[in-house]
Amino acid sequence: MTTVAYLGPAGTFTEEALWKFRDQGAFGQGEVTALPAESPSEALNLIRTGEAQFAVVAIENSVDGAVTSTTDALIEAPGVQIYDELELSISFAIMTRPGAQLTDVRRFSTHPVAQRQVRDWVANNIPQVSFTAASSNAAAAKAVADGEADVAAAPLRAADLFGLEVHAQGIADMATAQTRFIVVGPTGKPTPRTGKDRSFVVFDLPNEPGTLVGALQEFAFRGVNMSRIESRPTRKTARTYNFYVDLVGHIDDAPLAEALRNLWLRANSVTFLGSWPAAAGEEREKALAHDIARLEAATNWVKDAQEGR
């Protein structure tokens, strides 16, 4: 039996992602039990306490960017690592208690990220509502069922779970909206290299001129592409920051491994959060100067020189 924590309650997009991961074999063989949590931080802490073997959390949305509650939770305490990812197309259903009319609703609830994805629809169809943030989209649906809100934007399944009436579905201001979800587990050996991989590191640097440029050049010099970079306060000292970087490639790729080695020499701290198959099939561009075979040849040349050959 494998227990997998996720942002609950039942009916969230995260739960949908969990079952897709299960079907893909991300949790190994055997039965999977879903354990709802109230936040990404709580879901990851369930791994650290041993109550769950894995957690599924959202890490990035194509409309709103990084899910900061997840990225912050990943480094709150040591002991976790990312092993897999997938992307879900995201759209919402608009739901109320049975018999309610959209012209009469006043209190609208959904997750803040979802609210930004349906803002135009709400403005055009229920402009009279005031917004109340929910911890998840399914929690917003539950709030409607409990009489704490009048209308919610949530996954269609939430309407069935909570006995709500659906007034519209497939709602998304941007039709191509997707959310990236990850599988997190205890720290261990990374998922095997596939050649189309993603890696994730978090680091902080000495507060000196040029340190960030120097750190990023370690990747640029070796042809390692950064698909995302952002900074977040360390929450330890004022005006100090952690840098979160998604890298195209696997730690077993010689250029990326060498770049991380040199980053470690430059940084105050580096946290490696895993290498795994990228959902979008990203692949490192094989510029001739940074081709892995060429790097191996260069290593052999140095060994020959050291040994007098």
The domain that holds 264 is classified in CATH as 3.30.70.260
Answer yes or no: is pLDDT of 285 > 80: no
| Per-position b or e across 17-31, b if 16+ CB within 10 A of its CB | bbeebbeeebbeeee
- Whether residues 236 and 261 share a domain: the answer is yes
Answer yes or no: is pLDDT of 24 > 80: yes
Q: What are phi and psi of 16, to 5 degrees?
A: -60, -45
**Which of 171, 199, 231 is the last residue in one of the domains?**
171
- Whether residues 262 and 183 share a domain: the answer is no
Answer yes or no: is pLDDT of 286 > 50: no
Q: Tell me the pLDDT tens digit for each residue of 65-100.
A: 888 889 999 998 789 999 999 999 989 999 999 999
Give me the percent of the chain exceeding a pLDDT of 90. 72
- Whether residues 55 and 183 share a domain: the answer is yes
- Whether residues 212 and 300 share a domain: the answer is yes
Angle at 128 between CA 125 and CA 129, to 5 degrees: 95
- Whether residues 156 and 105 share a domain: the answer is yes
Alpha-carbon distance of 85 to 181, in angstroms, equals: 5
- Whether residues 118 and 81 share a domain: the answer is no
- Whether residues 40 and 182 share a domain: the answer is yes
- Whether residues 203 and 258 share a domain: the answer is yes
What DSSP designation does 185 have? E
Q: Which two tokens stand for residue 122?
A: 């709400």
Alpha-carbon distance of 83 to 185, in angstroms, equals: 7
Q: Tell me the pLDDT tens digit for each residue of 198-224.
A: 999 999 999 899 999 999 999 999 889
Across all residues in the chain, what is the average pLDDT? 91
Note down the domain range covering 98: 92-171
- Whether residues 75 and 182 share a domain: the answer is yes
Q: What is the mean pLDDT of residues 245-270?
A: 94
Query: Which residues, 6 or more positions from 107, have their beta carbon under 8 angstroms from its beta carbon?
Result: 129, 130, 132, 148, 149, 150, 151
Alpha-carbon distance of 83 to 184, in angstroms, equals: 6
Q: What is the mean pLDDT of residues 150-169?
A: 96
| Per-position b or e across 265-296, b if 16+ CB within 10 A of its CB | ebbeebbbbbbbbbbeebebeeeeebeeeebe
- Whether residues 137 and 67 share a domain: the answer is no
- Whether residues 107 and 214 share a domain: the answer is no
Q: What is the mean pLDDT of residues 111-125?
A: 93
The domain that holds 7 is classified in CATH as 3.40.190.10
What's the pLDDT score for residue 195? 86
- Whether residues 75 and 61 share a domain: the answer is yes
